[in-house]
């Protein structure tokens, strides 16, 4: 069965949602229900997002709880721990398979509800995305940034699985720091 349409946008939504909380400074991009609504809107991928949903105070709490669960997936000890964390999300949001033929597409399965709370929708989409990433790429592609000053999560899609940082910004900063350290050692 082909679940590959859960590969790209849903994985990015999972990573971006997890990284809305800076694990080191505790700076939180989801401070109000309006921030949840704007997260949904900026992650509008057509069939994936439902912009226009109004987030309430309870949604803010639910989405933050989901975010903590998502981080558990990335910080799990092994594939069993990650699978358990993903399964907990799928069970919590009651992800139910549904045949979809949206936009004239061939019939395929979706697991997120068409209406209801944002956290339930986000939970189904992100947990399905991470499931597919785990099945197709393996757990060793899941990581947290190796920088001393950043703990953001990522899914490594590089061919040789060499990624150590969440972003090019962190890679560049760490390379510069390492270069300066070498220069000091030489000088």
Least distance to Zn ion from the beta carbon of 151, Å? 7
Cα 71 to Cα 62: distance, rounded to the nearest angstrom? 14
Residue in 145, 155, 156, 178 with CA at minimum distance from that of residue 86: 155
Cα 144 to Cα 155: distance, rounded to the nearest angstrom? 9
Residues that bind Zn ion (CB under 5 A): 47, 145, 147, 150, 152, 166, 170
Least distance to Zn ion from the beta carbon of 162, Å? 15
Q: Where are the beta strands (DSSP E) in 17-126?
A: 98-100, 108-110
- Nearest CB to Zn ion, comparing residues 59 and 144: 144
Q: H or E stretch including 143?
A: strand 142-144
Contact residues for 47 (Cβ-Cβ < 8 A; gap 6+) = 102, 103
Least distance to Zn ion from the beta carbon of 98, Å? 10
- Nearest CB to Zn ion, comparing residues 88 and 113: 113
- Nearest CB to Zn ion, comparing residues 62 and 152: 152
- Nearest CB to Zn ion, comparing residues 56 and 109: 109
Could you tell me which residues are beta bridge partners of residue 143? 154
Least distance to Zn ion from the beta carbon of 183, Å? 23
């Amino acid at each position: 069965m082909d679940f590959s349409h859960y590969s790209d946008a849903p994985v990015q939504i999972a990573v971006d949602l997890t990284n809305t909380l800076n694990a080191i400074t505790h700076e939180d991009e989801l401070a109000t229900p309006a921030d949840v609504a704007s997260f949904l809107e900026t992650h509008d991928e057509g069939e994936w997002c439902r912009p226009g949903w109004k987030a309430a105070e309870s949604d803010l709490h639910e989405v933050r709880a989901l975010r903590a669960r998502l981080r558990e997936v990335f910080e799990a000890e092994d594939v069993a721990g990650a699978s358990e964390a993903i399964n907990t999300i799928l069970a919590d949001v009651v992800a139910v398979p549904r045949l979809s033929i949206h936009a004239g597409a061939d019939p395929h399965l979706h697991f997120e509800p068409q209406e209801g709370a944002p956290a339930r929708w986000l939970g189904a989409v992100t947990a399905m995305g991470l499931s597919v990433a785990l099945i197709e790429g393996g757990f060793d592609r899941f990581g947290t940034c190796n920088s001393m000053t950043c703990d953001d999560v990522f899914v490594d899609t590089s061919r040789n699985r060499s990624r150590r940082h969440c972003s090019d910004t962190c890679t560049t900063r760490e390379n510069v720091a390492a270069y300066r350290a070498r220069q000091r050692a030489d000088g």
